Amino acid sequence: FGCRVVALGPGAEKRGVQIGDRVISEQIVPCWGCRFCNHGQYWMCQKHDLYGFQNNVQGAMAQYMIFTKEGIIHKVPDSIAADEAILIEPLACSLHAAERADVDFDDIVVVAGAGTLGLGIIGAVRMRNPKKLIVLDMKPERAALALRMGADEVWNPAEVDVLAKIREITDGYGCDIYIEATGHHKAVNQGLAMLRKLGRFVEFSVFNDEATVDWSIIGDRKELDVLGSHLGPYMYPRAIDFIGNRKIDMRDVVTHKFPLAEFKEAFAVMERGDKSLKVVLEP
């Protein structure tokens, strides 16, 4: 979400914003008192308030919203269009995932999933210039976007034996890094199989179903590094810069726009997911 300041509460001047400024708040509202906040790990705050999602803060599906005094607020330049500004949050999350992956020049990287967040990851990994960037997705329109975002190849797991193919191009070893961004439990075992020994698995998704794996693959057989990725800590300034200066071009990610009054249809389009990526509500 993104918005323009129309009123300021007590102490707001310390945030460096004025009435009329375009702003965005990070999705988490830290408590600033738990062990994680006190160590700079605010994105893992024990209380873990999220706008419109958890605990005590309201969301942005309204004409007005309140940024709490604990929130982390960033100014957004007027040069960034509204339908690009709302992509700052997902891109920040994608940048964090790419940072967790710690991509190097010699790495063969596989990104599973080319949705909104997966496309951001593709753009972020491309900036790190790996040896090869392969994307897995089953939807042709997303495959085309993945290539535009910087993928070298896109493989459809429904049509291609991706395990055999990754072994073919790596002399039988497997990929160096696998980033899971589908939210499908089968993609977890797929990634464990595709990775080489001593490889790196980054888990970025939220799952509806439990993912059951053979942990001996992680420990005894391959000694893998398995890393989680949560939110977009410290990445919002970079995301604003990358979008504003077209370092990562996210313009094609927004596929549908609806006025706020048509929110039911917007959610229906999003749930179908057949032709949609980012669906925007405009108050």
* Chain position carrying tokens 């888990």: 203
Q: Please tell me whether residues 120 and 29 are part of one structural domain.
A: no
Q: Please tell me whether residues 37 and 114 are part of one structural domain.
A: no
Spatial distance between the Cα atoms of 144 and 240, rounded to a whole number of angstroms: 24
Q: What is the pLDDT of residue 59?
A: 84
Q: What is the pLDDT of residue 55?
A: 66
Q: Considering the domain boundaries, does residue 199 fall inside one?
A: yes
Q: What is the pLDDT of residue 54?
A: 67
Q: Considering the domain boundaries, does residue 96 fall inside one?
A: no
Tokens of 64: 């007005």
Among residues 190, 212, 228, the one where a domain terminates is 228
Q: How many domains does the chain have?
A: 2
Is residue 178 within 8 Å of residue 199, measured between CB atoms? Answer: yes
- The closest alpha carbon to 278, from 13, 77, 93, 35, belongs to 93
**pLDDT averages per 10-residue partition of the chain, 283 residues:** 91 88 95 98 95 78 88 95 93 98 98 97 98 97 95 98 98 99 96 99 92 95 98 98 95 90 92 84 83
Is residue 188 within 8 Å of residue 209, measured between CB atoms? Answer: no
Q: Please tell me whether residues 224 and 239 are part of one structural domain.
A: no
> For residue 50, what are the β-bridge partners?
28, 54
Q: Please tell me whether residues 27 and 85 are part of one structural domain.
A: yes
Q: Considering the domain boundaries, does residue 95 fall inside one?
A: no
Q: What is the dihedral of CA 9, 10, 16, 19, to 10 degrees?
A: 30
pTM of the model: 0.93
Q: Considering the domain boundaries, does residue 220 fall inside one?
A: yes
Rg (CA), the chain: 20
Question: What is the CA 80 to chain-centroid distance, rounded?
Answer: 19
Q: What is the pLDDT of residue 2?
A: 85
For 158, the domain range is 101-228
Is residue 101 within 8 Å of residue 181, measured between CB atoms? Answer: no
- Measured from the Cβ of residue 162, the count of other Cβ atoms closer than 10 Å reads 20
User: What number of CA atoms fall less than 13 Å from residue 23's CA on the CB side?
Assistant: 25
Q: Please tell me whether residues 153 and 238 are part of one structural domain.
A: no
Among residues 187, 206, 228, the one where a domain terminates is 228
Spatial distance between the Cα atoms of 58 and 69, rounded to a whole number of angstroms: 14
Tokens of 15: 């945030």
- The closest alpha carbon to 227, from 189, 208, 199, belongs to 199
Q: Please tell me whether residues 53 and 111 are part of one structural domain.
A: no
